[in-house]
């Protein structure tokens, strides 16, 4: 269960976009390039542009390179637009669905919640953050984590649950109602460049 454990804001600064919807990442001051003087006057070539798009997506979903490459390979094998399928596969990860529900403030907090065994899928404990959900799966939280989840929901006042998740805030449970579409993903990324990067 490898994951990135270093400074998180550095990742947002590296790719120039906030990878988490919390003030630490979204403030303009934090989005300056890393380093004392930043990368002034740096112009990316074609390879660098594709690499940066790939890194944006990796950091947003907190995935290491090997797992991300395997997900891209699976998206290419499936019929249809590879970029759209890649986004579906990433959105249906259990840790991401917990984040989209709004019961965890960041992807790292959602991953910890899953890894510590606080999440039930169809009534059974699942502690694998990369577990891929299917349409119709029900997600619930164990009783001992519900207080923390409600506090997180209050701290994320304007959070909107995407339409493909049927969320019941009173019971802190949700159901995957449909497959996510590209317009329901609240993160701007050019998936075509990412598919090209792995050619």
CATH superfamily of 9-90+187-197: Ribosomal protein S4/S9, N-terminal domain (1.10.1050.10)
Q: Given pLDDT bands bounded at 50, 70 and 90, which one contains residue 84?
A: very high
Which CATH number applies to 94-178: 3.30.300.30, 3.10.290.10, 3.30.413.10, 3.20.20.70? Answer: 3.10.290.10
Cβ neighbours for 22, distance < 8 A, ≥ 6 positions apart: 105, 106
* pLDDT for 99: 92
Q: 2-16, 27-41, 88-102 — which is least confidently predicted?
A: 27-41
Q: Is the pLDDT of residue 1 over 60?
A: no
Cβ neighbours for 73, distance < 8 A, ≥ 6 positions apart: 198
* pLDDT for 188: 83
Tell me the domain boundaries of the chain: 9-90+187-197, 94-178
95: closest CA among 194, 15, 1?
1
Contact present, 1 and 115 (Cβ < 8 Å): yes
**pLDDT tens string 31-71:** 676 666 666 656 778 898 899 899 999 998 999 999 999 99
């Amino acid at each position: 269960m490898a994951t990135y454990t270093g400074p998180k804001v550095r990742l947002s600064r590296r790719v120039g976009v906030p990878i988490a919807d919390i003030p630490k990442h979204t403030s303009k001051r934090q989005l300056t390039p890393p380093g004392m003087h930043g990368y002034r006057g740096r112009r990316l070539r074609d390879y660098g542009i594709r690499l940066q798009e790939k890194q944006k997506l990796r950091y947003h979903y907190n995935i290491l390179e090997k797992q991300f490459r395997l997900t891209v390979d699976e998206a290419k094998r499936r019929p249809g637009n590879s970029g759209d399928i890649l986004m579906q596969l990433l959105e249906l990860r259990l840790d991401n669905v917990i984040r989209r529900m709004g019961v965890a403030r960041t992807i790292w907090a959602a991953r910890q919640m899953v890894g510590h065994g606080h999440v039930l899928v169809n009534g059974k404990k699942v502690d694998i953050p990369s577990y891929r959900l299917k349409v119709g799966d029900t997600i619930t939280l164990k009783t001992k984590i519900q207080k923390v989840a409600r506090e997180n929901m209050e701290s994320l006042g304007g959070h909107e649950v995407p339409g493909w998740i049927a969320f019941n805030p009173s019971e802190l449970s949700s159901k995957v109602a449909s497959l996510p579409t590209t317009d329901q993903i609240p993160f701007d990324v050019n998936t075509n460049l990412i598919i090209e990067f792995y050619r």
